A and B are shown apart, each in its own frame.
Chain A
Amino acid sequence: MIRLLAGRLLQAAVASFGVLTIVFFVMRLSGDPTLLLVPEGASAEQVAQLRAALGFDRPLVVQYAAYLGDLLRLDLGESLVQRAPVAGIVGERIPYTLALAGGALLVALGIGIPAGILMAVHRGGVLERALAALVLAGQSLPTFWSGILLILFFGVYLGWLPTSGADSLASLIMPAIALGALTMSTFARMARISVLDELSRDYVTAARARGLSVWAAVSRHVLRNAAIPVVTIAALEIGNLLAGAVIVETVFAWPGIGQLAIQSIQARDFLVVQTVVLFVSSVYIAMNLLADLAYAAIDPRIRGRS
């Protein structure tokens, strides 16, 4: 177990390093922010002067080495645009991101899992089709459109929910639904498959032969076993929920890291983008690792294979 953990940790570190390197160089390939910062009409010398002052006149490799050096000293650097420590800029957004991801996960699990179970139990029936269509519907509309429709309907016409912002629990409702709808069908499908899978196993067949109802079988045996793959998927979806919420955050003015990342890409605020990606990928890798370990702990077959 310890060897497995150590090996996976090492691999995780390598993966993180890969992420960092990819993002560092892709960002640098896209040019630097100097021209965005100077007033229109600044002369070539003035631009060159600022570029040098910001350190973008150095060779890429030197910039890369300097960045890695800072990272090793746990220094995430200072935002070029905001002139403030990056750690703070990204850190302040994380609670909002977690709240939105949590809300969305709640929506996705709360609707997706029961729908998936119902779909499995009523396999082939009308209910299954209706639920399948409903669950997929959430995933079949562009958020930038459904989002503004939600705002107009619940915010403007009905006046029930705040049209934007992040200052109350009520303002979390619409963004959480919009984001949750995107992953809902993933959970529903996963739940459906796992339940179907379990239902076809011998122990369930045997139990049902003894007169146990489908629902009793589901609640007593199936759910516990079917939960494992669902939890794994949930872990993998976290990455998308954290920083993939770019459009939801933009439409609802939710100050999460997705919005921050896009704005920082557009402003070429390199260190902010790198820090966001570093954060998201670390969370993702950690989740993955936990899921793997949980698997290994539960299922001895996997332990043997690794």
Chain B
Amino acid sequence: MRGISPGMALILLLLVAFIVAALAAPWIAPFDPLRQSLLMRLRPPGTTVAAGMYLLGTDDLGRDLLSRVLHGARASIAVAALSVSISLAFGTLLGLLAGWFRGWVAVAIMRSVDTMLSIPAILLAVLTVAVLGPSFLNLILVLGLTRWPRYTRVAYAQTLQVATLPYIRAAEMAGAGSARILWRHILPNIAGPLMVVATSEFGLMILFEAGLSFLGLGIQPPYPSWGSIMSVGRQYVERAWWLTVFPGACLFVLVLCVNLFGDWLRDRVDPRSQGR
């Protein structure tokens, strides 16, 4: 890897740390994130009890905030990662098809893209969650299936460009099938820009889940996500600042890192800015 600046190294390190923390949450969390203690509600960071120390304080049901933030990382990152994967896969496939076959296929696909994009994502999500109910799986499906048009647009435009390249034409002449060309030659060429979209979507999805939590439709209690911890905590902004500040800081840093990573990635894959 040529030229990773110290700043970028720090960002990558943080990203890895987040992922490790999320994966290892059950082993590194000091308490059971669901275990309540009504007599220990809203205790400030550093409160010590027989069982140990509430390093980040407790929430409104007397649960250890640190353990909840760690487990919340799992939920928030999982929702974002899975929904981004679904929409990335689905959106890319449609974009490839539209860009390759053009004609009525492109018209049909790109008009559905317009249709989907013209319904505000948050309304569509709220509507669908109202029908399906807000389970973890449904949340991922809803986010995955409302965000794909963004990828389709990029994949379509890129495929149109790449398809005119001489070696693609050559492969076509040589009798390679469409599927093979798309998979072997076009997809690798357009993967860069798609990854850039995916990184910025990743941050957005974490925030989106938080927003749905605020509307009561996110990850469901008692299980924590950063969004749900914060939407509960905002009632206590002044009385128990730690409830929003710690998950908020995690969310902020993660989204920021992912986005900066995305920008960095963009500069690497974008041939135009690479040339300079």
A–B proximity contact (CB within 8 A):
yes
Chain A residues lying within 8 Å of B276, measured Cβ to Cβ, are: 196, 199-200
- Distance, CA A27 to CA B238, complexed state (A): 38
CA A54 to CA B273, docked complex, whole Å:
60
Q: Is A172 an interface residue (CB 8 A)?
A: no
Decide: A30 and B126 in contact? CB cutoff 8 A: no
Question: A61–B33 Cα gap in the complex (Å)?
Answer: 48
Binding site for B on A (CB under 8 A): 11-12, 14-16, 18-19, 22-23, 26-27, 29-30, 129, 132-133, 136-137, 139-145, 148-149, 152, 185, 189, 193, 196-197, 199-200, 236, 239-240, 242-244, 246-247, 258, 261-262, 265, 273, 276-277, 280-281, 284-285, 288
B237-A288 in contact (CB<8A): no
Nearest Cβ in chain B — how far from A13, in angstroms? 10
The answer to whether B256 and A136 touch across the interface, beta carbons within 8 angstroms, is yes
Which residue of the partner chain, among B119, B130, B252, B263, contacts A277 with CB atoms under 8 Å? B119
- Contact residues in B for A189 (Cβ distance below 8 Å): 263
B244 within 8 A of A: yes
Highest count of chain B CB atoms <10 Å: which of A15, A276, A285: A15
Q: Would B128 and A133 count as touching, CB distance under 8 A? A: no
User: Closest residue to B209 on the A side, CB-wise?
Assistant: A142
Whether a CB of chain A sits under 8 angstroms from the CB of B92 is no
Cβ-defined partner of B120 (8 Å) among A12, A16, A280, A288:
A280
**Closest partner residue, chain A, to B252 (CB atom):** A140
A288 to B7, CA, bound (A): 38
Least distance between B225 CB and chain A CB atoms (Å): 11
By a CB distance below 8 angstroms, the chain A residues around B118 are 15-16, 19, 239, 280-281, 284-285, 288
Q: B residues engaging A (CB < 8 A)?
A: 7, 107, 111-112, 114-115, 117-123, 126-128, 130-131, 203-204, 207, 210-211, 214-215, 227, 230-231, 234, 237-238, 244, 248, 251-252, 255-256, 259-260, 263, 266, 270, 272-273, 275-276
- Are B121 and A11 in contact (CB-based, < 8 A)? no
Interface pair B234/A239, CB less than 8 Å apart: no
Q: How far is the CA of A141 from the CA of B210 in the complex (A)?
A: 10
- Asked, given contacts A139-B203, A189-B263, whether A144 binds B119 with beta carbons under 8 Å apart, the answer is no
The answer on a CB contact under 8 Å between B127 and A265 is yes
Chain A: minimal CB distance from B204 (Å)? 8
- List 17 other contacts, CB 8 Å, given A143-B211, A246-B126: A11-B111, A14-B111, A26-B127, A139-B207, A140-B207, A142-B227, A142-B231, A142-B251, A152-B238, A196-B273, A244-B120, A244-B123, A265-B127, A280-B118, A281-B119, A284-B117, A288-B114
Closest Cβ of chain A to B132, distance in Å, is: 9
CA distance A172 to B203 in the complex (A): 27
* Interfacial chain A residues near B211, Cβ < 8 Å: 142-144, 246-247
CA A12 to CA B117, docked complex, whole Å? 12
B256 touches A140 (CB 8 A): yes
List 22 A–B pairs whose Cβ atoms lie within 8 Å, in order of A's numbering. Answer: A11-B114, A18-B111, A18-B115, A22-B115, A23-B119, A29-B131, A133-B256, A139-B255, A140-B252, A140-B256, A185-B259, A189-B263, A193-B270, A199-B276, A200-B272, A200-B275, A240-B120, A261-B123, A262-B215, A265-B127, A276-B123, A280-B118
User: What residues of A have a CB within 8 angstroms of the CB of B123 in the complex?
Assistant: 243-244, 246, 258, 261-262, 265, 273, 276-277
Report the separation of the CA atoms of residues A137 and B273 in the bound assembly, to the nearest whole angstrom.
24
Contact assessment for A27 and B127 in the assembled complex, using a CB-CB cutoff below 8 Å: yes
Could you tell me if A145 and B7 are in contact, using CB atoms closer than 8 angstroms? no
A239 touches B273 (CB 8 A): no
Inter-chain CA distance A16–B266, complex, in Å, is 34
Min CB gap A305→B, angstroms: 8
- Cross-chain contact A236 with B248 (CB below 8 angstroms): no
| Residues of B close to A142: CB separation below 8 A | 207, 210-211, 214, 227, 230-231, 248, 251
Find out whether the CB atom of B214 lies under 8 angstroms from the CB atom of A247: yes
B115, A262: Cβ atoms closer than 8 Å: no
Question: Quick one: closest A residue to B227, CB to CB?
Answer: A142
Q: Is the CB of A246 within 8 A of B122?
A: yes
- A192 CA to B259 CA in the complex, in Å? 15
Please, which residue of chain A has its CB at the minimum distance from the CB of B121? A244
Closest chain B CB from A217 CB (angstroms)? 14
A15-B114, A132-B260, A141-B251 known; A243+B130 contact, CB < 8 A: no
A19 x B115 contact (CB < 8 A): yes
Flag if A145 contacts B248 (CB, 8 Å). yes
Q: Is the CB of A148 within 8 A of B234?
A: yes
Given A137-B252, A285-B114, A280 and B119 touching (CB < 8 A)?
yes
**Which residue of the partner chain, among A11, A30, A258, contacts B127 with CB atoms under 8 Å?**
A30
Q: A11 contacts B273, CB within 8 Å? A: no
B226 to A, closest residue via Cβ: A142
- Could you tell me if A18 and B112 are in contact, using CB atoms closer than 8 angstroms? yes
Report whether A26 and B120 are in contact in the complex, using a CB–CB cutoff of 8 Å.
Answer: no
